[in-house]
């Protein structure tokens, strides 16, 4: 079939073709605008709701996985010292022939493992008090130096016996400040314990304390495995343990407690570390305004007042 195409103008020379959209009144336009707006708004709210829901669920899942890892890590940590205590207790109980010094070394193992148990239980109890918002600190004004020096001395001797080289440089005078001696000593212990645990082959632990810009600084340094920058924040979270720390014993609460303790003192904890280069953890205690000797030294002490080395 053939079709002839005749232009409109030729066919109807006196006609005009006008095309117009159906007229929409102002009120219909407003209704459409409201309808579109509310649909977009509802969609946005829905998308946001789904986003927050997914985020909450994955956070809950992560926390519950961390909690279950924590329970199994603590159970494992409890099992080792308990097994050793039972084993050496039974050996001593059943008597028999012992080589010279053997009996004493068994007693030492039992004492060391009981201390480990006490330390572990204290940490878990502290964490549970913090978790329930019931942890209380007893801040009293005094000299931080002897409180810290005692802990450093006792734990330092213990590390030296395990083959570590512990170098300490503690300022001889510090301004008085408010602190909880037990909590501070726990923070110091946790940092020294980590320096030993993650200190690698070098077996070096450096400890410094000085007064600078209205703050008392306490620092623990090791030359061990170090911590990548992307983990600097995470390691202070509850139960967090980095991949490199697997197999080293622990349950990711030490640094969480250290941070909590420092916040309760109005201070903070700082970290300077890189993988393979070692780490420096620094506790900063604020010195109250007007305290004698508040300004203090401008740099860490250069001469060591005390030196525990292997
Ligand atoms: P734990 O040592 O029981 O795992 P912590 O809260 O004390 O728990 O430490 C959290 C994580 O931070 C550790 O698992 C480890 O990966 C890392 N960490 C802590 N201290 C050091 C350190 N001195 N050197 C390297 N890594 C460290």
Q: Give the pLDDT confidence score for residue 196 in this predicted structure.
A: 95
Share of the chain above pLDDT 70, in %: 89
* CA 279–ligand 1 middle distance (angstroms): 10
Place of tokens 């506790």: 283
Which of 283, 277, 304, 71 is CA-nearest to residue 189?
283
159: confidence class by pLDDT, cuts 50, 70, 90 = very high
262: confidence class by pLDDT, cuts 50, 70, 90 = very high
Q: Across residues 204-227, what is the average pLDDT?
A: 95
Q: Would you call 218 exposed, middle or buried from its count of C-beta atoms within 10 A (0-12, 13-18, 19+)? A: buried
Give this prediction's pTM: 0.73
Pocket of ligand 1 contains residue 238 by CB under 6 Å: no
For residue 298 the two structure tokens come to: 């401008």
Q: Give the pLDDT confidence score for residue 7 in this predicted structure.
A: 73
Q: Across residues 209-227, what is the average pLDDT?
A: 95
Pocket of ligand 1 contains residue 70 by CB under 6 Å: no
* CA 239–ligand 1 middle distance (angstroms): 10
Asked if residues 297 and 211 have their Cβ atoms less than 8 Å apart, the reply is yes
Q: Is the dihedral of CA 243, 247, 251, 255 positive or negative?
A: negative
300: confidence class by pLDDT, cuts 50, 70, 90 = low
More confident residue, 310 or 88: 88
* CA 21–ligand 1 middle distance (angstroms): 72
Pocket of ligand 1 contains residue 251 by CB under 6 Å: yes
Alpha-carbon span 242 to 239, nearest angstrom: 10
Q: Across residues 146-167, what is the average pLDDT?
A: 93
Asked if residues 199 and 163 have their Cβ atoms less than 8 Å apart, the reply is no
240 pLDDT above the threshold of 80? yes
Pocket of ligand 1 contains residue 221 by CB under 6 Å: no
Nearest alpha carbon, ligand 1 atom 13: 241
- pLDDT tens by residue, 105-142: 999 999 988 988 888 888 889 888 988 888 999 999 99
More confident residue, 297 or 292: 292
Ligand 1, atom nearest to 240 Cα: 10
Q: Would you call 143 exposed, middle or buried from its count of C-beta atoms within 10 A (0-12, 13-18, 19+)? A: middle
* CA 175–ligand 1 middle distance (angstroms): 31
Which of 124, 126, 165, 168 is CA-nearest to residue 148?
168
302: confidence class by pLDDT, cuts 50, 70, 90 = very low
Which range (71-85, 140-154, 179-193) has the least confidence?
Answer: 71-85
Pocket of ligand 1 contains residue 245 by CB under 6 Å: yes
**Mean of the per-residue pLDDT values for the chain?**
86
Full 3-state SS string of 117-173? HHHHHHHHHHHHHHHCCCCCCCCEEECHHHHHHHHHHHHHHHHHHCCCEEEEEECCC
């Amino acid at each position: 079939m053939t079709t002839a195409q005749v232009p409109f103008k030729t066919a109807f020379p006196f006609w005009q073709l006008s095309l117009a959209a159906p007229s929409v009144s102002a009120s219909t336009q407003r209704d459409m605008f409201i309808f579109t707006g509310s649909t977009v708004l509802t969609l946005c709210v829905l998308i946001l709701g789904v986003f927050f829901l997914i985020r909450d669920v994955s956070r809950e899942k992560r926390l519950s996985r961390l909690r279950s890892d924590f329970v199994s890590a603590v159970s494992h940590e409890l099992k080792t010292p308990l097994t050793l205590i039972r084993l050496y207790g039974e050996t001593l109980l059943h008597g028999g022939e012992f080589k010279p010094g053997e009996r004493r070394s068994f007693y030492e193992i039992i004492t060391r493992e009981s201390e480990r148990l006490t330390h572990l239980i204290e940490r878990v109890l502290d964490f549970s008090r913090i978790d329930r918002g019931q942890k209380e600190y007893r801040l009293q004004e005094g000299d931080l130096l002897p409180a810290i020096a005692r802990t450093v001395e006792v734990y330092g001797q213990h590390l030296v016996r395990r083959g570590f080289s512990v170098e300490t440089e503690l300022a001889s005078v510090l301004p008085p400040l408010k602190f909880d001696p037990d909590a501070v000593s726990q923070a110091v212990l946790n940092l020294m314990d980590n320096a030993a645990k993650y200190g690698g082959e070098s077996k070096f632990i450096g400890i410094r304390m000085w007064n600078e810009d209205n703050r008392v600084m306490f620092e623990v340094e090791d030359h061990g495995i170090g911590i990548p920058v992307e983990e600097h924040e995470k390691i202070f979270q509850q139960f967090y343990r980095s991949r490199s720390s697997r197999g080293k014993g622990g349950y990711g609460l030490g640094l969480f407690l250290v941070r909590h303790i420092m916040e309760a003192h109005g201070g903070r904890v700082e970290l300077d570390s890189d993988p393979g280069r070692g780490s420096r953890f620094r506790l900063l205690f604020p010195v109250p305004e007007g305290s004698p000797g508040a300004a203090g030294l401008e740099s860490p002490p250069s001469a060591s007042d005390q030196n525990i080395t292997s």
